[in-house]
């Protein structure tokens, strides 16, 4: 069969444009969110997403759009860390040794208590080791809840721009005044807040580029604005704010009960009391005495510190103040209580953007 070169060339040229629209047609329907990239300083092209190569061929939307926790380093603080696929949020790595210290003083004395004291205490009163075990589980649970719960992070402007409806949600839940809502959504230049709003406690955060509501402060350790900020606790590796203050208070109470239970059990063991053999003394075994002292002395020191901290927070609850307000001497009359727990605004598992219209 003979092939006409002219005819073959005309066919190849006429077929080329027909294949192009099938690939470029979906790409022409770019989401309206693409207009935000130049505003956020990320260039005019969507070929890259936060410095990473971005697919330019039509795929499933879930393959193109990352979740918030995956790009938090670009949209939020670089010191905040996520785990369990964004379900847990905690503080910076610099708190690691303080956090390990807290776990040490909880687990080591409790472990030695159950290893050397529980059997004898079971013969005296079996409720003592059972209650100690229950309190230990409660202490660990509240410590994890305090460490891995969003303390009340106020989303930065970049995150609000990438999640449609987030800025309106924050303004509605926090009941932001109408004259401040435009300031909170603009963020390009520091606004001049009215003197009335400044007196009520509203402030502009130049780092997060948002208007902070009353009693909200920027934590330098975590790099976030936290609602009703109390303090940053390195021992729990997180900020203590409006959303985890209840867990922190419960952690202090359970830790106090645990320390008291371990101290009482250790004291009974050191006394040498035996219901069947009251004349025998545990002090006849020097090695066991050393182990019991390793339990009692650290527990007593840790217990004194927890008592002092718990009494201080009871004082804060009675006066309606936060730790920062006491230390700085400045108190804002308006604002939310520590026990009003709003929803989390960071939406760590939400998709950042829809690059392609469906």
Strand pairing report for 203-205 and 210-212: antiparallel
Residues 6+ apart with CB under 8 A from 254: 135, 138, 139, 142
**How far apart, in Å, do the first and last CA atoms of the chain sit?**
47
| Identified catalytic residue from 183, 208, 233, 239 | 233
Q: Tokens for 14?
A: 């006429």
CA separation for the pair 13, 291 (Å, rounded): 88
Residues 6+ apart with CB under 8 A from 113: 132, 262, 265, 266, 295
CA separation for the pair 231, 7 (Å, rounded): 79
Backbone angles phi and psi of 308, in degrees to 5: -65, -45
Strand pairing report for 224-226 and 153-154: antiparallel
CA separation for the pair 115, 294 (Å, rounded): 12
* Angle, vertex CA 191, rays to CA 188 and CA 192, nearest 5: 165
Q: Tokens for 72?
A: 């938090």
Q: Give yes or no for a contact between 292 and 269, defined as CB atoms under 8 angstroms apart.
A: yes
H-helix segments, 187-238: 195-200
CA separation for the pair 155, 347 (Å, rounded): 9
Of all helices (H) and strands (E), which one includes residue 226?
Answer: strand 224-226
Hey, CA dihedral for 302, 307, 308, 314, is it positive or negative? positive
CA separation for the pair 192, 211 (Å, rounded): 11
Q: Give yes or no for a contact between 91 and 221, defined as CB atoms under 8 angstroms apart.
A: yes
Active site residue 233: yes
Which residues are the active-site residues?
Answer: 233
């Amino acid at each position: 069969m003979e092939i006409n070169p002219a005819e073959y060339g005309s066919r190849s040229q006429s077929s080329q444009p027909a294949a192009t629209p099938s690939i470029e047609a979906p790409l022409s329907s770019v989401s309206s969110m693409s207009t935000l990239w130049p505003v956020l300083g990320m260039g005019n092209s969507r070929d890259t997403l936060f410095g990473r190569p971005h697919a330019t061929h039509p795929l499933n939307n879930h393959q193109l759009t990352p979740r918030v926790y995956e790009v938090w380093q670009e949209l939020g603080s670089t010191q905040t860390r996520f785990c369990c696929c964004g379900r847990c949020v905690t503080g910076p790595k610099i708190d690691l040794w303080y956090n390990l210290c807290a776990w040490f003083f909880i687990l080591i004395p409790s472990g030695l208590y159950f290893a050397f004291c529980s059997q004898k205490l079971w013969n005296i009163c079996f409720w003592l080791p059972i209650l100690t075990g229950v309190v230990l589980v409660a202490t660990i649970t509240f410590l994890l809840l305090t460490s891995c719960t969003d303390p009340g992070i106020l989303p930065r402007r970049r995150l609000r721009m990438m999640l449609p409806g987030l800025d309106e949600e924050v303004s509605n839940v926090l009941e932001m005044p109408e004259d401040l809502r435009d300031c909170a959504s603009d963020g390009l230049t520091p606004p001049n807040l009215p003197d009335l709003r400044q007196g009520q406690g509203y402030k502009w955060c130049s780092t997060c580029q948002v208007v902070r509501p009353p009693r909200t402060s920027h934590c330098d350790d975590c790099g976030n604005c936290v609602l009703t900020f109390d303090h940053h606790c390195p021992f729990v590796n997180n900020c203590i704010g409006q959303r985890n203050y209840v867990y922190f208070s419960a952690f202090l109470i359970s830790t106090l009960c645990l320390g008291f239970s371990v101290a009482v059990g250790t004291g009974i063991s050191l006394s040498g009391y035996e219901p069947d053999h009251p004349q025998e003394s545990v002090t006849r075994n020097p090695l066991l005495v050393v182990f019991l002292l390793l339990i009692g002395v650290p527990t007593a020191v840790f217990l004194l510190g927890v008592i002092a901290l718990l009494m201080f927070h009871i004082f804060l609850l009675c006066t309606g103040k936060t730790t920062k307000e006491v230390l700085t001497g400045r108190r804002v009359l308006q604002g939310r209580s520590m026990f009003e727990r709003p929803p989390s605004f960071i939406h760590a598992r939400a998709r950042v953007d829809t690059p392609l219209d469906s």
